[in-house]
Amino acid sequence: MRRSTRTPIATATALACALAASPASASGVSRSWVSPTGNDTNNGTCSIAAPCKTFQHAHDMTLAGGELSVLRAGSYGSLTIAKSISMTNDGAGEAEITGGIDGIDIQANAGDVIGLRGLTIDGSQFPGKGTGVTFGAGASAALHVQNCVIRNFARGIVMVAGASMRMLVSDTLIYNNGSVGAGSATSGGIFAAAIGLQGAGANAEVVLNRVRLENNQNGLIVVGNQPPVEGPQLHDGPSHVILRNSIVSGSAANGIWAVTAAGAAPVAIFVRNTAAVGNGAAGILADGPGATIAIGRVTVARNATGLTASNGGQIFSYSDNEIGNNIGADGAPTGFFTPR
């Protein structure tokens, strides 16, 4: 319902303003800026000369498809994103989102493209509560996260996927997220993890490159759609996650975890050139009949247990992984793929 109402209104507003040749302040701007010395009051342009003070206000003044940038180091507050937008801090000093229980709540419209770059998203004022980045439903929406730090929440990134959604995260550090007693995927808070993906709308695609998931309750959790879930109706297609050139280490519970119930949507994680080390339960866990994890050039060491495939879950190896020196059992792949 959100999608079906907001887009026409926004479009109509923009059209009306353009036709009436209103000042830019009424219609929004394609380019906005924030600074700690900025001012939100009666500031509809967030210009580089007269910047705004918070991300939320600058977002609200920015047209869909526009860009919001940071002029100086500062704390810019949590926000809700409801349009295509690019938020960038390119080395102006630490641009922090803090002070709220949650960091960024993305309620995307169909087809929206959101970019987050160079932000520190910190939940330390409500430790162990809230979510750093929530990526909500919107068919074919895409989220790009680069050079960010996400820490001190109950959950780092949660993606509740609509159909064909995409999320691409690179060069990002996610640490110290988790909450008390959240030992399983769905107890004590869904996705008590650095990155959690649920629902997996048909053909949802996630690529995680050079991410470091350090010292969280769990590292990466991918859950097949199973009711009840919050939010819009989900589709029962598979989700595909690629995790490469990354580290998943120091989780209190599992490192990399694919889980589905019988009859739920299948989930697949392809792990490549990545270390799952020093986690407090399984390094890699495939749980359920539709849970598949493929591993190539992966190191699985010093976890409580190495590989675990349970309840019909499968782990396929390219026979080039280092699986050894775990505290308990190393475990073994359930099958093998041949490089070709």
Which of these ranges, 43-51, 86-94, 224-232, 285-293, lies near other proteins under the rule CB under 8 A?
A: 86-94
List 136, 162, 178, 313, residue binding other proteins (CB under 8 A): 178
In degrees and rounded to multiples of 5, residue 12 shows phi and psi of -65, -40
Which of these ranges, 39-47, 105-113, 172-180, 263-271, lies near other proteins under the rule CB under 8 A?
A: 172-180
Residue 24 found at the interface with other proteins (CB under 8 A): no
List 12, 180, 262, 329, residue binding other proteins (CB under 8 A): 180
Distance from the Cα of residue 231 to its chain's centroid: 16
Strands 74-75 and 267-272: unpaired
Residue whose token pair is 């002070």: 99
List 32, 43, 134, 176, residue binding other proteins (CB under 8 A): 176
d(CA 31, CA 258) in angstroms, rounded, equals 40
Count of residues touching other proteins (by CB under 8 A): 59
Which of these ranges, 5-13, 117-125, 197-205, 225-233, lies near other proteins under the rule CB under 8 A?
A: 117-125
Binding mask 208-227 for other proteins (x = CB under 8 A): ----x-xxxx----------
Which residues in 310-339 contact other proteins (CB under 8 A)?
Answer: 317, 319-325, 327, 332-333
d(CA 215, CA 255) in angstroms, rounded, equals 10
| Tokens representing residue 103 in the block | 């960091």
Residue 179 found at the interface with other proteins (CB under 8 A): yes
- On the 0-12 / 13-18 / 19+ scale of CB atoms within 10 A, 326 is buried
Angle subtended at Cα 207 by Cα 203 and Cα 209, rounded to the nearest 5 degrees: 175
Residue 156 found at the interface with other proteins (CB under 8 A): no
56 Rama sector, left if φ>0, alpha if ψ -120 to 50, beta otherwise = alpha
d(CA 135, CA 107) in angstroms, rounded, equals 7
Angle subtended at Cα 105 by Cα 40 and Cα 38, rounded to the nearest 5 degrees: 15
Residue 230 found at the interface with other proteins (CB under 8 A): no
Which residues in 31-60 contact other proteins (CB under 8 A)?
Answer: 36-37
List 125, 187, 233, 311, residue binding other proteins (CB under 8 A): 125
Residue 250 found at the interface with other proteins (CB under 8 A): yes
Q: How far is the CB of 265 from other proteins (least distance, A)?
A: 30
Strands 142-146 and 155-160: unpaired
186 Rama sector, left if φ>0, alpha if ψ -120 to 50, beta otherwise = alpha
d(CA 279, CA 285) in angstroms, rounded, equals 12
Residue 187 found at the interface with other proteins (CB under 8 A): no
Q: How far is the CB of 275 from other proteins (least distance, A)?
A: 6
List 8, 12, 15, 90, residue binding other proteins (CB under 8 A): 90
Least Cα distance to 108 among 6, 234, 219 occurs for 6
Residue 299 found at the interface with other proteins (CB under 8 A): yes
- Specify whether the CB–CB gap between 61 and 68 falls below 8 A: no
The residue among 27 and 152 lying less far from other proteins, judged by its C-beta, is 152
| Tokens representing residue 268 in the block | 């697949």
- Site residues, other proteins (CB under 8 A): 36-37, 72-75, 89-96, 98-99, 118, 120, 122, 124-125, 127-128, 149, 151-152, 173, 175-176, 178-180, 212, 214-217, 247, 249-250, 252, 273, 275, 277-278, 299, 301-302, 317, 319-325, 327, 332-333
